[in-house]
A and B are shown apart, each in its own frame.
Chain A
Amino acid sequence: MKAIIAATIIGVIMMFASILSNNKSGIVSLATVLFFFLFGINIWEVYESINATGVAAPAYLNNMMSLDSFAIWFSMLMSGCALLYILLLGKEIAKVGKHVGEYFALIAFIMVGIYLLAGYSNMLMLFIGIEILSIPQYILAGSDKRNLKSTEASLKYFLMGSFSTGILLMGIAMLYGATGSFDIINFRMLQTDALNPLALSGILFLIIGLGFKVSAAPMHMWTPDVYDGSPTPFTAFMSTIVKAGVFVAFLRLFHASFGNLTNHWMMIVAVITATTLFIGNITAVFQQSVKRMLAYSSIAQAGFMLFAILSVNATAWQGIVIYAVAYSVATIGMFAVLIKLKDYTYDGFNGLAKKEPALAFFTTIFLMSLAGIPLTGGFMAKYFVLLAAVQQGQVMWLVIFALIMAAVSVYYYFKVIIAMYFKTGEAELNHEVTGYDKLMLGITCLLVILIGLMPQLLLNL
């Protein structure tokens, strides 16, 4: 709860900071310090929850929030990723437009949404969390106001987003009709044999609504345009940390509440997973722009995260945590490199290895992690979610399909490596790569490898 309050206060401070000062780099430094502070508070909370073993998870807001150790741990990890994001891309955020303070304020509010989604125990909180998380994103997507693509992205995102929120709300209402409660604990009483049709359609609507938010196919249509059109620093945020937050909400609801109804929804999710993997990977192959490729790749990665949803077991929880962090770290790193380049097409990467060997090396590690090569975080992430699915049984076909799709993904990730190392050309940079950039990217890179070597560090369960 401390983190939620702190993030809100940080958001407010950042809003006022921009009134008081016009110094962009000052605001960035302030935000960095505040996010450090936020991370510290999260660690404090984790520390408290470790000491309080045996005590029931504290409930807040009339039992609408239940901050169990998983919620606190996950919030801490996401704050860590957000801090890394600010450290890597803070200066780039300041370049997007005039209202630098507001951007950081919106990011802080999104963090509030993520914390709510990690620990909700009531559908009302789920809904509020999703809204707190979505509305700042609509603004961030359109923050580059002079750019038509950014405005288009914002509008598209807003329309599609509100549409999906409507569907989500509908699902919640139907479940309320079936059970007379918003509390997710009470959904557990739904019985497989005498399932209320209202509840069943409610579950279906929830799958569609949440599927929209995590860009699962066929509800993914908005993703490429929005991710491509938004200013790059915000794409990095939206496609990683935010998405991971929604996934945890998805997981919590479907495992805690509908875990015994798997025979009703598992096949639906399995088909959605297969479609997502297929569309994400195959379409990514044909992209010319690396930014757009990363948008499709984020759909493809969502396909892997969906494995955690459909395997109702403890490994799935571990899997989603590792996946969320490994994928976020590597993708944020990748975007931090991308933003330094003038040309976002594959050709823009030509000859980068000669010009900036360190940068090219880091990019290679990030891409290998995304492709799932062993000893990088991405491998362990894929490993855990697939292990969860194998333990669940019944979906071995999907596991094999996913592995074939992982092989396809090597094609488009390695195209960047091929461009950097094996093609000749002059990769043009926006500005010099400073020692600070290299240091931060190096740390990110080490994190990717560390997760690959010791994924257990991310697990407290």
Chain B
Amino acid sequence: MMLTLLLLIPLIAGILSFFLKGEGVKILALLSTLATLVLSGFVSYEILVAGLSGTNNTLDFSMPWIPQLGTEFSLHADGMSAMLCLLTGIVMPVIIIANWNKEVERPWSFYGLMLLSQAGITGVFLAYDALLFYAFWELALIPVYFLCSQWGGEKRIAVTFKFFVYTFVGSLMMLAALIYLSTLNPGANSYSWANITHAGASLAPETQSWVFWMIFIAFAIKLPIFPFHTWQPDTYEQSPTPVTIILSALMVKMGMFAVLRWLFPMVPQGVAFWSNTVIILSIIGIVYASFLAIVQTDLKRLIAYSSIAHMGLMCAAAFSNTQMGMHGLMVQMFNHGINITGMWLIVSMVENRYGTRDMTKLGGMATAAPQMAIALAIISFANIALPLTNGFIGEFMLFNGIFQSASAYNIVFMAVAGLGIILGAVYTLNMVQKTAFGNTTPMLISKDMTTNESLAMALIVVLVIFLGVYPKPLLELTQSVAQMMVP
């Protein structure tokens, strides 16, 4: 029931928003996102406690939907889904608080679409039926498409359309594979997680190896891993910042989550067959995106490329097939979501105050707006995974996982991926230096963080440091899932 509420609150609030005018929309959005935060916190807590006491630590809900198709409306939350719902629950109110004073055109439709996308994303994290999962997967995309195209930058229409078509093609391929798998297992529940993974896993290895790509393409585009990433920097750059946060903190996690929840159990032999290929692609992505990030002058593009590099590392660890890597990956999904949200918040503050995102024209923020500069420094340290920030624990485990992997090239993989950390330090610190220090650029509005911005930022910074010092709750929440995936 709680899981259904997690879905219904943003859905209903989102639909209601379209009928409200004026300030009420913002309040409704804030209240509903706070409600989901509390609810997802509660779900995570229950799962955590149940896991510690060794009882059944999942929540399930199901009711019939279209029995003729063998699909049902079934939701399932284990540690991983609860954690990602919690991430969604944290990020959404942060976005709304941080943008509280910003005027948007047609707020009813803006906030309505934001809430609808939240519903879609939550649905993806909770769905336990492949067709339901597919439906949510598409539904999360549509509000975001409208958000980017209406409130984005100059080239928004063409860019977001490319993004839309790109991801749509990917999902259609996945649909074909899902239909195929469901026909292998006719009956009332052919789409349920248990049945469809069973159907996939009992396929011949050669079949699995092509089914793998049909499914993985959809996820690879969303992640994005090299060479499917071309939509990403443009879309991040053109989207309004709140939407960029949704895209990079939450939707990207949809891809990673889907790989773990659906792809791995569905075609295990296909995964084993292609894992070196995917790791190589991911590592190329890390190095390539890091080098591109170094030469960027636009803050948004820089962070976009840095995000590709981070996702590449996560993807490589996912395919390393070690428990340590898997566990680190789950923790890192959460941490990356928090860090990048902080990053984008700062970018949007900078853009508001200086009227530009061009690093060559920025400078001296440390004297003009010291609070912002401190926040930037902390988030940047988390971005390069300095110890005592939350980035450290995740990346440490990821590297450990890649190193332990059974692949013959594990050392090479780790060494090249490790290059990403060094390059990450280069571009991140360079960014801090150029924006916070150097010649002072005059601000358009000379103001440090406003109350609502400080509130949002404080939440992020506290999480960064708290999870860096004491990551145990996060680790325990996801432990059983990692153990289940790689025994």
Contact = CB atoms under 8 A, between A and B. Distances in A.
Partners in one complex: yes
A153 interface: no
Main secondary structure, interface of A, reads helix
A407 B172 contact: yes
B68 A386 contact: no
A36 interface: no
Contact of B168 (A407, A418, A421, A423): A407
A422 B66 contact: no
A260 interface: no
B150 A421 contact: yes
Contact of A383 (B139, B165, B179): B179
Given A406-B172, A459-B68, A414 B161 contact: yes
A132 B32 CA distance: 58
A181 interface: no
A375 interface: yes
Interface string A389-423: 01100001001100110110011001000100111
B304 to A, nearest CB: 22
Nearest to A421: B150
A403 B66 contact: no
B180 A390 contact: yes
Interface string A143-162: 00000000000000000000
A201 interface: no
Interface string B164-190: 110011001101100110110000000
A407 B66 contact: no
Nearest to B166: A407
Nearest to A364: B146
A374 interface: yes
A368 B164 CA distance: 13
B139 A374 contact: yes
11 contacts: A368-B142, A374-B138, A383-B69, A383-B179, A387-B183, A390-B176, A391-B183, A407-B169, A410-B164, A422-B150, A456-B66
A386 B168 contact: no
B248 to A, nearest CB: 22
B179 A374 contact: no
A159 B142 CA distance: 44
B149 interface: yes
Contact of B68 (A368, A396, A422, A456): A456
Contacts of B176: 386, 390, 399-400, 403
A318 B68 contact: yes
A389 to B, nearest CB: 9
A116 to B, nearest CB: 29
B157 interface: yes
A373 interface: yes
Contacts of B157: 418, 422-423
A459 B179 CA distance: 20
Contacts of B180: 390, 396
Interface in A230-252: none
Contacts of A399: 176, 179
A403 B175 CA distance: 9
B135 A403 contact: no
Interface in B106-149: 134-135, 138-139, 142, 146, 149
Contacts of A259: none
A454 interface: yes
B183 A414 contact: no
